[in-house]
Chains A and B, each alone.
Chain A
Amino acid sequence: MKYTIAALVENKPGVLARVASLFRRRGFNIDSLSVGRTEREDLSRMTIVVEGDEKVVEQVTKQLNKLIDVIKVSDVTKNAVERELCLVKVNVQPEKRGEIIELANIFRARIVDVSRDSFIIEITGDEEKIEAFIDLMRQYGIKELARTGKVAMARGSKK
């Protein structure tokens, strides 16, 4: 199963290396990892998706907590808002142009770059939605694909 872990970490050089080193050393499998700034200038937030069972996630959480530069770790697999952003560069034959635009609209995706024979389409959403969209685009020929990896936040007022 996939678990989503949110870690609040010091915004310092080397922290990403520490986290990555820990995952490698303990044999944990990272599915995706995203890092960015937070409401506090001195802190960053990592959203890490790990593959494994409950025991693995418990160890991941505990081992992350042991890192001095890690402030707080929470399992946000359940009851959280999850989003990912994805850019797809897709082949566009003239006769398919309308069809692709239509599909993008249905998914509330945006066409952010247009050339003679391709689009870059930007889509955000949860994993399922993005997978579904990518799947649909395959028939036209995907030239390039870039995904940010997931960010997640627990629902409700609790921090």
Chain B
Amino acid sequence: MRAANALAKALVEEGVEVIFGLPGGAILEVYDALYDAGVAHITVRHEQAAVHAADGYARATGRVGVAMATSGPGATNTVTGIATAYMDSSPIVVFTGQVSTNLIGNDAFQEADITGITMPITKHNYLVTDPKKLLSVVKEAFYIASTGRPGPVLVDLPKNVTAADIEYNYPKKVVLEGYKPSYEGHIKQIEKAAELIMKSERPIILAGGGVKWSNASEELLKLAELIPAFVVTTLLGKGAIPEAHPLCLGFIGMHGSKYANYAVQESDLVIAIGCRFSDRSTGKVSEFAPNAKIIHIDIDPAEIGKNVRVDVPIVGDAKRVLSKLISYIKYKRRKEWEDKINELRRKYPLRYKKDGFKPQYVVEKVCEIYPDAIITTEVGQNQMWAAQYFKVKYPRQFITSGGLGTMGFGFPAAIGAQVAYPNKTVIDIAGDGSFFMNIQEIATCVYYSLPVRVFILNNGFLGMVRQWQQLFYRERYSATCIGCREHSFEKIAQGFGAVGMTVEKPSEVEDVLRELKDIDDPVIVDFKVDQHANVLPMVPPGKALHEVIDEEVE
């Protein structure tokens, strides 16, 4: 069988439903095989979007997302997408075409050393030079991407390899001597953790994205209620526990609520689960939770002790570790701590000035009218307002580029989520700057009738950068104004064949949002919000979580 056909068959065997990609010369054999292989293919308009879409698909479903591109420029266009998935531990497999093996190294037409380029941003990658190894590589790629700490794997396919004739024998099992994630967690360590928890008077749980990848939300909730402990999350952990739950304090970090950040600072025990203590979450790391002991549960041993000192490390899968940990815990009410937190909540609620047309208001209304929608975000102020004011109900509902902070991620990620869940409402809460970065994908939505909603919080600025210039660079707004009235997102959308709308006043927001429920087409709404709104509260970079900037609201 032609190797390309064997690959297509293997993808079916792996349960791949859809590939996001864009063809070219070096990957033609594979596309030829895909023509009637029974795997759907979404042709994007830029390969970066293919990878973000595969990533969005993975984050929305927990299954491996698949992207495909040709050699050279096709492959290099995938780089930002791969780095985005890598930073947020998202399981994707990216197939790239490559020039034939006899040409590799000769600077052949459309040759790029994509395995070399992506070495530091993949969990693993392969250049397949022997057609006989193709199938075992594919098997390994899916296995590595989806197990342990998930992450992107790239498989580079020289054209002659995909054209070769091979026997189809897809391996049933993977044996990798150098890859054996530990899942169970050391029981002695779990006992030590339980001891610390029982002794603690002011415990707090910090849940990261790992809780979602491990499907450990149920166990997390049980643990939180059993101790009982308040729960804060990282940005990627949003939704690990329903945010309306009385124990949930929302996300911490640079733009977390004051009460969540203060709660961490005042705790005497942090139970960190599936998170990596990024600087955006911890603030000044030497002053993070200064009076607390730290239990760190993570599947990646390299994360433990990397950024913060840890008292009880537990290497293992969150779900399995938590279900064991629960059996050691007895309920113990901590009235003082409860009162303290409730006071912090009362004293320092999230709030904003309600004059003018505030972006926060749009997000609040989106949350009210579409509480079950899958939300993706772009990057910048829009992302932070979405995180602050959209109260997430379930684990895979909120999809955002946390680690890399990739503008242009949200829209293609929404496409991926929409493909995974055709009947759900999928909304990209966007910034004007970010939306421009993958605006061409409106065409993809229209072509495949994907009813993605893009809500642009249009402030005419690279707003988050403008905010930093205002706060830290003496209001010298260098290169951050990108215009607001000069172009029309409404007409751009219409030009692509999508529905475009413009909303100028807060009083129109609700009606427009409700009106959209009856529209089956992709929709782009341009909310012309206040140009100078800031994301607050804010922990300035390098400051501790309690050193917060805020504004007077009254």
Q: Could you list which residues of chain A lie within 8 angstroms of chain B, going by C-beta atoms? A: 9-10, 14, 17-18, 21-22, 25, 55, 58-59, 62-63, 65-72
Which residue of chain A lies nearest to B124 when distances are taken between CB atoms in the complex? A68
- Would A69 and B120 count as touching, CB distance under 8 A? no
A17 to B116 alpha-carbon distance, docked (Å): 8
Shortest beta-carbon distance from B156 to chain A in Å: 11
Partner of B179, one of A9, A14, A55, A68: A68
Shortest beta-carbon distance from B226 to chain A in Å: 32
Interface string of B285-318 (1 = CB under 8 A from A): 0000000000000001110011000000000000
> Could you say which residues of chain A place their CB within 8 Å of the CB of B127?
14
Asked if A17 meets B301 with Cβ closer than 8 Å, knowing A67-B178, A68-B124, A69-B178, the reply is: no
Shortest beta-carbon distance from A17 to chain B in Å: 7
- Would B115 and A14 count as touching, CB distance under 8 A? yes
A67 to B123 alpha-carbon distance, docked (Å): 8
The reply to whether the CB of B144 lies closer than 8 angstroms to some CB of chain A is yes
In terms of DSSP, what is the predominant structure of the interface of chain A? helix
- Would A71 and B306 count as touching, CB distance under 8 A? no
Asked if A21 meets B306 with Cβ closer than 8 Å, knowing A68-B176, A70-B178, the reply is: no
Which residue of chain A lies nearest to B119 when distances are taken between CB atoms in the complex? A21
Which residue of chain B lies nearest to A73 when distances are taken between CB atoms in the complex? B178
Which residue of chain B lies nearest to A9 when distances are taken between CB atoms in the complex? B178
The reply to whether the CB of B177 lies closer than 8 angstroms to some CB of chain A is yes
Which residue of chain B lies nearest to A26 when distances are taken between CB atoms in the complex? B120
A42 to B302 alpha-carbon distance, docked (Å): 26
Shortest beta-carbon distance from B296 to chain A in Å: 13
- Would A68 and B301 count as touching, CB distance under 8 A? no
Shortest beta-carbon distance from A6 to chain B in Å: 14
> Could you say which residues of chain B place their CB within 8 Å of the CB of A65?
301-302
Q: Could you list which residues of chain B lie within 8 angstroms of chain A, going by C-beta atoms? A: 115-116, 119-120, 123-124, 127, 144, 176-179, 300-302, 305-306
Shortest beta-carbon distance from B305 to chain A in Å: 7
Partner of B178, one of A17, A55, A71: A71
What 4 A-B pairs come out closest when comparing CB atoms?
A: A62-B302, A71-B178, A68-B124, A25-B120
A59 to B305 alpha-carbon distance, docked (Å): 9
Partner of B305, one of A10, A18, A22, A58: A58
Partner of B119, one of A18, A66, A71, A72: A18
> Could you say which residues of chain B place their CB within 8 Å of the CB of A70?
178
A72 to B306 alpha-carbon distance, docked (Å): 20
> Could you say which residues of chain A place their CB within 8 Å of the CB of B176?
68
Partner of B300, one of A9, A14, A66: A66
A159 to B127 alpha-carbon distance, docked (Å): 32
Known A17-B116, A66-B300, A68-B144; further 14 A-B contacts with Cβ < 8 A: A10-B177, A10-B178, A14-B115, A18-B119, A21-B120, A55-B305, A59-B302, A59-B306, A62-B302, A65-B302, A68-B179, A70-B178, A71-B178, A72-B178
- Would B178 and A62 count as touching, CB distance under 8 A? no
30 CB < 8 A contacts A-B: A9-B178, A10-B178, A14-B115, A14-B127, A17-B116, A17-B119, A18-B119, A21-B119, A21-B120, A22-B120, A55-B305, A59-B302, A59-B306, A62-B301, A62-B302, A63-B302, A65-B301, A66-B300, A66-B302, A67-B178, A68-B123, A68-B124, A68-B144, A68-B176, A68-B178, A68-B179, A70-B178, A71-B177, A71-B178, A72-B178
A65 to B300 alpha-carbon distance, docked (Å): 10
Most buried by A among B115, B124, B127, B177: B177
> Could you say which residues of chain A place their CB within 8 Å of the CB of B144?
68
> Could you say which residues of chain B place their CB within 8 Å of the CB of A66?
300, 302
A59 to B301 alpha-carbon distance, docked (Å): 9
Which residue of chain A lies nearest to B300 when distances are taken between CB atoms in the complex? A66
> Could you say which residues of chain A place their CB within 8 Å of the CB of B305?
55, 58
Which residue of chain B lies nearest to A70 when distances are taken between CB atoms in the complex? B178
A110 to B119 alpha-carbon distance, docked (Å): 43
Which residue of chain B lies nearest to A20 when distances are taken between CB atoms in the complex? B119
Shortest beta-carbon distance from B298 to chain A in Å: 11
Shortest beta-carbon distance from A140 to chain B in Å: 44
> Could you say which residues of chain B place their CB within 8 Å of the CB of A10?
177-178
A62 to B300 alpha-carbon distance, docked (Å): 9
A59 to B538 alpha-carbon distance, docked (Å): 31
Shortest beta-carbon distance from B409 to chain A in Å: 22
A10 to B123 alpha-carbon distance, docked (Å): 16
Shortest beta-carbon distance from B286 to chain A in Å: 14
A128 to B423 alpha-carbon distance, docked (Å): 71
A63 to B301 alpha-carbon distance, docked (Å): 9
Most buried by B among A14, A55, A63: A14
